[in-house]
Amino acid sequence: MSPQKMNNYSGWKPSPGDTLDTIDIQDIQQYIKDRKPCIVNYTVNLPIEDLKGTVMVEKKHKGRFGLGIKQKMDFKEFYGLLKQKNGDHYLSTQYEIESEGLDHFLAPPLGSVSVPPVWDLLPLIPHQMNLWMGYSESGTATGLHHDFHDNLYMLLKGKKTFDLFAPADAHLMGLHSISQVFQNGLIEYKDNRRIREDGAYLDDVCQYKIDKIQLQMDEEPDNQELEEQLEQLLDEMLEYEQEEEPEPKRVKKEDLPLSFSKYDLDSKNLKKAARITVHLEAGQSLYLPCGWFHHVTSQGGLHVALNYWAVPPTTDPFPTIDDYWKDQFSEIKTALENQQHA
């Protein structure tokens, strides 16, 4: 099957000359439903000077970031380098630091301060928040790539230029082994575990349903309907267990992750794709649905951004199929509420 036939994306796609709308945060729900990026008049106050703890900092490689070459560093030391106008280091995601619960949701060093409750503003289930910091006068870029979650990207300092491409053009992006593009723009890969439209792994959802039914059966041991449902789910789980778990692969060029394009932004291979360029100023935010490709150039000296990733909403019903992600987030939600009341 051709890559285009595997693409089920049904959201907004830019036409030549299109620009993004600028909206207030309370008007964002329709843009989420339409899978349409927009500039949002919204910002937060984050006490950067109070942040502390150990972080993983990326080192510039061949003039750019995004290749995952990181080193452990104390945040105060890293921030000191930025104050000295050192542009060779960049703070981004913190997956290398093992964490769970609230410590995973507020990626280091965010857990060391009180973070404004951005998650209350969007009709989506929260996934994670990250801090992005670096220094660049003339412009430092991250490679063209997509995310697996909806993103509210809040620029606190500096300037950013985003070059965007819709998931409809995923087949033009130079990716490796796309399995399908869901209606909401989420991209699934052949070399990863199977997922559904909201990004949940199918085997994890199956185990979740098994656990729920077993709890029900403890209270209703003679319920024949529950027994039949459980038997079906156990058969389904057995099929998942018998599948050979894929080894996550990386494309050859620069050893990039699957979600990164092998093309540079000026590549002739991108000429057929519809591009839209966005200039973001401090005090503005960018809403970016999952699967939208973006090449980001940072400039203006010290640049600081806070991003909020949320679970991709399902198309029908909107925004969730079931309570899977809501239940996964419940303990973190309680911890956040306790933290705010402290």
H or E stretch at 129? strand 126-136
Q: What is the pLDDT of residue 195?
A: 96
Q: Using pLDDT thresholds of 50, 70 and 90, give the confidence band for residue 245.
A: low
Per-residue pLDDT tens digits for 170-221: 999 999 789 999 999 999 999 889 999 999 999 999 999 999 999 999 999 9
Other CB atoms within 10 Å distance of the CB of residue 128: 18
User: What pLDDT, on a 0 to 100 scale, did the predictor assign at position 98?
Assistant: 87
pLDDT of residue 64: 72
Question: Residue 60 has what pLDDT?
Answer: 82
CA 138 to chain centre: 27
Q: pTM for the whole thing?
A: 0.93
Q: Rg of the chain over CA atoms, in angstroms?
A: 21
pLDDT at site 62: 72
Q: How confident is the model over 269-276, as a mean pLDDT?
A: 95
Specify the pairing of strand 22-24 against strand 38-41: parallel
Residue 117, preceding peptide bond in cis (omega within 30° of 0): no
Question: CA neighbours within 13 Å on the CB side: how many for 220?
Answer: 9
At 66 the pLDDT is: 67
Q: Which residues pair with 140 in a beta bridge?
A: 298
For residue 339, pLDDT beyond 50:
yes
C-alpha 290/C-alpha 312 separation (Å) is 6
pLDDT tens by residue, 40-78: 999 999 999 999 999 999 988 777 776 668 899 999 999
**Contact indicator for 196, 321 with CB cutoff of 8 Å:** yes
Q: Indicate if the pLDDT at residue 24 is higher than 50.
A: yes
pLDDT score of 208? 97
Average pLDDT, the chain: 92
pLDDT per residue over 82-129, tens digit each? 999 999 999 999 988 888 899 999 999 999 999 999 999 999 999 999
Task: Kindly report whether the peptide bond that precedes residue 167 is cis, defined as omega within 30 degrees of 0.
Answer: no
* 213-234 average pLDDT score: 95
- What is the mean predicted confidence (pLDDT) over 11-34? 96
Confidence of residue 255 (pLDDT cuts 50, 70, 90): low
Reported as half-sphere exposure (CB side, CA atoms, 13 A), residue 302 has a value of: 12
Rounded to whole angstroms, the Cα distance separating 340 from 279 reads 34
pLDDT band at 2; cut points 50, 70, 90? low
pLDDT band at 251 (very low <50, low <70, confident <90, very high): very low
Q: Is the pLDDT of residue 326 over 70?
A: yes
